Amino acid sequence: MKILLVASGAREHAIADALSRSPQKPELISVCTTKNPGLKRLSAELHVGSLLDFPWVMDITKKAKPDLAIVGPDDPIGGGLADLLEAAGIPTVAPKKSLARIESSKSFARDLLQKFIPDSVPKYRVFTSYEPKELNKYIAQELQGNYVVKYDALRGGKGVKVSGEHLATIEEGMQYARECIDEGGRVVIEEKLIGVEFSLLSFVSGTQVIDMPAIQDHKRAYAGDTGPNTGGMGTYTDANHSLPFLAASDLARAKEINRLTAQALLKECGEPYRGILYGGFIAVKDGIRVIEYNARFGDPEALNVLPLLSSDLVSICQAITQGTLTEDLVQFEHKATVCKYLTPESYPVSKDQKGAVVSFPPVPKNARLFFGDIAEDEQGILHVGGSRTAGIVGVGTDLAEAEKIAEEFCRQVKGPVRHRADIGTASLIHQRIALMQTIRPR
């Protein structure tokens, strides 16, 4: 059993780690943007290059002849790598280009949900040309100045600007909308939702949908949810596979929406979605809404859930590609996890620490260490890159224990790196619960 893993960092290190626990003992052929030390250790071959250089990836694939391919990051999925792999006869865990528009096009995602699950979307409108009067009227009157402007293609998580956070005035919002239209031909303007965000990822094969534990991410760079947005500074899952601020009905509805979305994709695109469907939700006053969909595992979300997977990831991937996915193939331990990302001190503002040396203590039994943007030199010394360095995961019987394990490990890492000490702590979680109580008073 040979598997091709298309990778960019810690998310794929976690995927490789879960694959390596399989009784099928797969041989891994990894293609990655960097010489990731985690993937290097777990792979028979590690090829370094651009994941958008499809002829190069296909060349390696044709030589290696894998039985299965898994594509981790958004760019190659959005660009249609799964179409090429499938055309070459390689069963692939990642949606084809047309289906991946659920992530790569904000307007496709909104229009699809509006058509099939209308009560899951906020008020929105797609503008394909810059009409200042119309735009101003929509933002100021229809949305009463509470709005979000979304660039209509992949932009490394930086295409969304929210009023009151990134956009101080309506003029700034209109200016950004104009930039989006000039660059991408269209822009999505939508209602700003107030509530608490969470994610629900599912394994999907057509209309077969099996969910993972619910997760909360922390996108802001600094403690207390302040500072610029990042790819995600850390995440947690709870032992009951729900989250402390969610009502049972919220989780049930998120699960239902992922199912309905898989069905909608089949109807709209005429072919089955095969891969990971990542629903980004927000619990609001009167239920839940979809913030976005991703067509892949999250980073760091994969770092939380994959260490809990006690069944065989290789069998799950085979079932996804064969259309034989069933509940019994997917089992997660009932434990809590807290992931804290170590990043260079100046991330995401500058890359001043790039190349600096970082060293890790031995990994305790209940912790996991997944390498992100980090390079190992000839002497085996590790150097940080400009992006997120490594995800540290604590696994415990409850959130308090998992948080303590992750935090203690983070504090022992030597080098110019930082992390958010507040992620997974009782005080931050109580803030989320308190916010839900404010927006949903009894």
> What's the token pair of residue 58?
């296909």
User: Rounded to the nearest whole angstrom, what is the least distance from the CB of residue 95 to ligand GLY in the complex?
Assistant: 15
Q: How many CB atoms lie within 10 A of CB 182?
A: 10
Per partner kind, with CB cut-offs from 5 to 8 A, the member of ligand AMP, ligand GLY, none near residue 192 is ligand AMP
**C-alpha–C-alpha distance, residues 251 and 283, integer Å:** 9
User: Rounded to the nearest whole angstrom, what is the least distance from the CB of residue 162 to ligand AMP in the complex?
Assistant: 5
Q: Which amino acid is at 344?
A: P
User: Rounded to the nearest whole angstrom, what is the least distance from the CB of residue 256 to ligand AMP in the complex?
Assistant: 20
Among 46, 148, 149, 305, binds ligand AMP (CB under 6 A): 148
Name the one range near ligand AMP by CB under 6 A: 14-22, 129-137, 184-192, 317-325. Answer: 184-192
User: Rounded to the nearest whole angstrom, what is the least distance from the CB of residue 105 to ligand AMP in the complex?
Assistant: 12
* Beta bridge partners of residue 385, listed in sequence order: none
Count residues near ligand GLY (CB under 6 A).
8
- Residues of span 150-209 touching ligand GLY by CB under 6 A: 157
Alpha helices by DSSP H, listed for 306-390, are 313-322
Among 202, 242, 294, 343, binds ligand GLY (CB under 6 A): 294
Q: What are phi and psi of 8, to 5 degrees?
A: -130, -10
**C-alpha–C-alpha distance, residues 264 and 285, integer Å:** 26
Among 78, 159, 232, 279, binds ligand GLY (CB under 6 A): 232
Name the one range near ligand AMP by CB under 6 A: 42-50, 187-195, 271-279, 309-317. Answer: 187-195
Among 5, 15, 32, 291, binds ligand AMP (CB under 6 A): 291
Q: How many CB atoms lie within 10 A of CB 357?
A: 13
Where in 238-300 does DSSP place strands (E)? 274-284, 287-294
Would you call 226 helix, strand, or coil by DSSP? Answer: strand
Q: What are phi and psi of 252, to 5 degrees?
A: -60, -40
**DSSP structural state of residue 253:** H
Q: Which is nearer to ligand GLY, 301 or 403 (CB)?
A: 301
Q: Which is nearer to ligand GLY, 195 or 231 (CB)?
A: 231
Q: Does 162 bind ligand AMP (CB under 6 A)?
A: yes
Q: Does 238 bind ligand GLY (CB under 6 A)?
A: no
Name the one range near ligand GLY by CB under 6 A: 137-145, 205-213, 220-228, 291-299. Answer: 291-299
Q: Does 104 bind ligand GLY (CB under 6 A)?
A: no
Q: Are 32 and 57 in contact (CB under 8 A)?
A: no
DSSP secondary structure, 366-383, as one string:
TEEEEE-SEEE-TTS-EE
Q: How far is CA 257 from CA 29, 199, 230, 279, in A?
A: 35, 12, 26, 8
User: Rounded to the nearest whole angstrom, what is the least distance from the CB of residue 419 to ligand AMP in the complex?
Assistant: 20
> Given the rule CB under 6 A, which residues bind ligand AMP?
122, 148, 157, 160, 162, 190-193, 197, 219, 280, 291-292
